[in-house]
Structure formats: C-alpha cells, structure tokens
C-alpha cells in the first residue's frame, strides 16, 4: 500500500482497507510504542501545525507523535503571518501553501466553527491548501470533519470489544448498535467529531441510531453518506427525536452537544445564542438510568466533556467509560497516518 503524499480531510474519502492499514499500524505502534522500527521513520522531517483554534489534546498529541517518529513539529497561528482575508490584504493560500511545502513534509490545519463565516468554510480552506501544497494536508479538525478523532474512536471501540489496549478486533464491531445522541451543553460545539463518528461507525459495519431534538439535524451530505455506508454493510440507520428509546440495546453510546443548523447569521457564529437555546432543552443529559437501557454499552466521547450537562460523572467516570483510552489513541492513529503519508512506508 502506498499512501505517501495523501491528504486526509475525512475518513470517508479513504478506502476502508486504507483505514484498516492505518489502524493496524496504529495498534502495532501502541503495543511497541518506542520500538526502533518506528522512532526514526520521520527523522529530520518537519510537520507544520497551523492552529486557527487552540487545543489541548490535538497540539500535545501531534507534537508527541512527531517527536516519537523522530521528527519535529512547528506550531503557528494566523497571527504569525499576514494572510489575505475578505477584509484584509495579505498572502494568498496558494503562496502560503507552496512555500510551507518547501519547508515541511506535511501540514496540519485546525479551524473550527468560530473562525469561519459560514458552515463548511473550514473544510474549504483545507481543500484549498491541498490544491496548492505538494505535501500531505492533514485535518486536525475543521467545522465538518475530524478524521483523527474518528480513527481514535473506532480503534478504542474495537479494543473494548477486542482483547484490550493495542489489540483491537474490528470484526467484533460488526452488527453492534452505535448510538449518537445530542446532549444538553454550554459549549455550542461544531459538528466535526460527531459527523466523523457517524461515518466511521457506519463504515465498520455497525447499526447506527442518531437521536437529536427537532431542529438539530446534521449535514445532509454526511447523513446520506452514513445511510449509504449502512446500506452497503446491510445494517440499519435510524433517526429519532426521542432521548431515551433509541438507547435500547445499544453497545456504544456517544453523547455530545452540537450546534443547530441556524448557528450562522450574517457571516457570524452566534455562539451565545446557541448556548442559551441548548440549555433550555431538557431531558438530553446521559445518565445511569438511560445507560441501563443499553446492552452494557460503553460510553464514548472525544473530550472535553461538559460534565453535568452532556453526561453525568457517574457515566463519564464509570467502569464502562472509554474516554481516556480513546484520547490516548489520538497519538497512535496520528503517528500511523503521519508515518504512512509522510514517511513512504
């Protein structure tokens, strides 16, 4: 398999066997983290991390990944340069991308909902960089997709239903019921993580249920992709506005707040209005009583968790919570993809 030079904007754009190759390598890297087989794969190479939005897990995990592969990561923000916008003169994406590609083996970009004027603009920016750069563009989370989170998610689920850390069993996920449920929250979160979870769960043969209140639909294209993935795997895809019934028989429950489709008005993200609207909707906090309706499901979440709103502490810190395992897996899946796309394995 040759993934050298490939961009990763969303998992949906990679073939399933390509995802499996990356995940298999990630598991090997997790089992033998500092093996000499891996620690020189990106020696002397630089990875540029372009952050429009701050992050704890993303920055630390990507920096650690590049270090453990023998390379170097370089952090930058838009304020570090003079970039052209709709309101200001400056360097174009074409020029910036071509120059960065002369310096680095790959470029990661993180741009979320509050840094764009409309939904989808973040993904458009990544695709513009991918158009001009001749090195891999890796999506560290945009307003539509979060591919590394999706890979970390499915690896974690397969470890829980497999043989434990570093020994996932993806076949064991086939036929399991995955529930993605909207949750009350005070953060007005983007759609990227939850949409990637729908895509990856449906690609790996799971029955998928989406539970959300009226007025909180997700991207129609992502919904159609999810539906098509399920059809190809002969599994079901259901959508409900009931915060309880959809949990019946679930094996994996993903509870997270996300913004409404009306979050952007006149080129502005109305964060406070979204928070106020979400906090008025009751009955959508995941608790032990709801989890009791499942088939001893694991709880999954990309973090940070809005405890007390999205989910109770009893569930988030309970014995069936996979959140820390999945957070760790961000490191391993990122190492694998970076090695494959930047190291010519």
What is the helix (H) or strand (E) element at residue 147, kind and residue range? Answer: helix 147-160
Q: Hey, what are 236's tokens?
A: 């079901």
DSSP-assigned letter for residue 293: T
- Half-sphere exposure of residue 36: CA atoms within 13 angstroms, side-chain side: 0
* CB contact at 8 A, 342 and 135: yes
Domains detected in the chain? 11-144+328-342 (3.40.50.1370), 148-322 (3.40.50.1370)
CA–CA separation, 39 vs 317, rounded Å?
A: 33
Q: What backbone torsions phi and psi does residue 270 show, to the nearest 5 degrees?
A: -90, 70
CA–CA separation, 248 vs 290, rounded Å?
A: 9
* CB contact at 8 A, 59 and 49: yes
Task: Please list the ranges in the chain whose pLDDT falls under 70.
Answer: 1, 84-88
The pLDDT of residue 87 is 64
The pLDDT of residue 178 is 98
The pLDDT of residue 84 is 60
The pLDDT of residue 2 is 87
The pLDDT of residue 176 is 98
pTM value is: 0.97
Q: Which of 192, 242, 236, 244 is nearest to 218 (CA)?
A: 192
* CB contact at 8 A, 162 and 169: yes
What is the helix (H) or strand (E) element at residue 342, kind and residue range? Answer: helix 323-342
Q: Hey, what are 214's tokens?
A: 């009226």
The pLDDT of residue 78 is 86
- Cis check: omega of the bond before 7, within 30 degrees of 0: no
Q: Which of 145, 197, 182 is nearest to 260 (CA)?
A: 182
Q: Hey, what are 198's tokens?
A: 């729908």
Q: Which residues contact 68 (CB under 8 A, 6 or more apart)?
A: 33, 34, 38, 39, 331, 335
């Amino acid at each position: 398999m040759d993934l050298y030079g490939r961009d990763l904007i969303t998992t949906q754009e990679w073939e399933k066997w390509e995802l499996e190759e990356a995940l298999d390598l990630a598991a090997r890297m997790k089992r033998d983290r500092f093996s000499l087989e891996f620690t020189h794969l990106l020696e002397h190479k630089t990875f540029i991390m372009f952050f429009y939005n701050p992050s704890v897990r993303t920055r630390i995990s990507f920096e650690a990944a590049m270090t453990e592969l023998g390379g170097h990561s370089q952090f930058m923000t838009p304020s570090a340069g003079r970039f052209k916008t709709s309101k200001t003169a400056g360097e174009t994406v074409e020029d910036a991308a071509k120059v960065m590609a002369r310096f680095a083996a790959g470029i990661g970009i993180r741009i979320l909902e509050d840094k764009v004027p409309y939904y989808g603009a973040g993904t458009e920016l990544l695709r513009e960089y991918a158009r001009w750069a001749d090195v891999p563009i890796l999506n560290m989370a945009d307003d539509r997709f979060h591919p590394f989170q999706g890979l970390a998610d499915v690896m974690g689920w397969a470890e829980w239903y497999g043989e434990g850390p570093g020994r996932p069993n993806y076949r064991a996920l086939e036929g399991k019921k995955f529930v993605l449920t909207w949750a009350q929250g005070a953060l007005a979160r983007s759609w990227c993580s939850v949409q990637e979870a729908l895509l990856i769960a449906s690609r790996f043969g799971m029955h998928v249920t989406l539970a959300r209140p009226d007025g909180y639909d997700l991207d129609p294209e992502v919904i159609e992709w999810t539906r098509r993935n399920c059809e190809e795997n002969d599994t079901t895809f259901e959508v409900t506005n009931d915060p309880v019934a959809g949990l019946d028989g679930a094996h994996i429950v993903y509870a997270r707040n996300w913004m409404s489709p009306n979050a952007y008005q006149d080129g502005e993200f109305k964060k406070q209005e979204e928070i106020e609207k979400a906090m008025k909707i009751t009955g959508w906090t995941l608790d032990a009583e709801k989890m009791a309706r499942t088939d001893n499901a694991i709880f999954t979440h990309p973090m940070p968790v809005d405890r007390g709103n999205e989910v109770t502490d009893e569930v988030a810190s309970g014995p069936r919570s996979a959140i820390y395992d999945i957070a760790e897996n961000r490191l391993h899946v990122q190492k694998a993809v970076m090695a494959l796309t930047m190291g010519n394995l």
